[in-house]
């Protein structure tokens, strides 16, 4: 009489254990992806790209403008 109860409890225990492991695996993957994104954001913050400026002529040509560093007086 107690056999089926223990069997059901064992099956439920196995099911929840497997689902917990699957969820933890996905959370670890998501954590790794978030760390990669945070690293990319920090890289962009500490090593910003140079801004490029362009000018257009009246005939439609695009000319790159060379920026000059402003020196403190």
Does residue 41 lie in a domain region?
yes
Strand locations in 10-70 (E): 53-56, 62-65
Q: Determine the 3-state secondary structure of 73 from DSSP.
A: coil
- Residue ranges making up the domain that contains 36: 3-65
On whether residue 73 sits in a domain, the answer given is: no
Report if residue 33 sits inside a domain. yes
The answer on pLDDT for 2 being more than 70 is no
DSSP label at 47?
S
Q: Give the number of domains in the chain.
A: 1
7-61 pLDDT, tens digit each: 888 888 888 888 899 999 999 999 999 999 999 999 999 998 877 788 888 888 8
Higher pLDDT, 38 or 69: 38
What would the DSSP string read from start to end of 10-24?
Answer: HHHHHHHHHHHHHHH
Residue 36 lies in a domain: yes
Q: Quickly state the pLDDT bin for 6 (edges 50, 70, 90).
A: confident
Residues 6+ apart with CB under 8 A from 64: 52, 53, 54
């Amino acid at each position: 009489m107690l056999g089926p109860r223990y069997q059901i409890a064992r099956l439920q225990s196995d099911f929840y254990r497997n689902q917990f492991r699957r969820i933890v695996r996905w959370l670890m993957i998501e954590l790794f992806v978030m760390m990669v994104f945070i690293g990319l954001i920090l890289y962009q913050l500490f090593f910003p790209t140079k801004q490029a400026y362009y000018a257009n002529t009246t005939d439609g040509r695009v000319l790159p403008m060379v920026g000059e560093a402003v020196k403190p007086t």
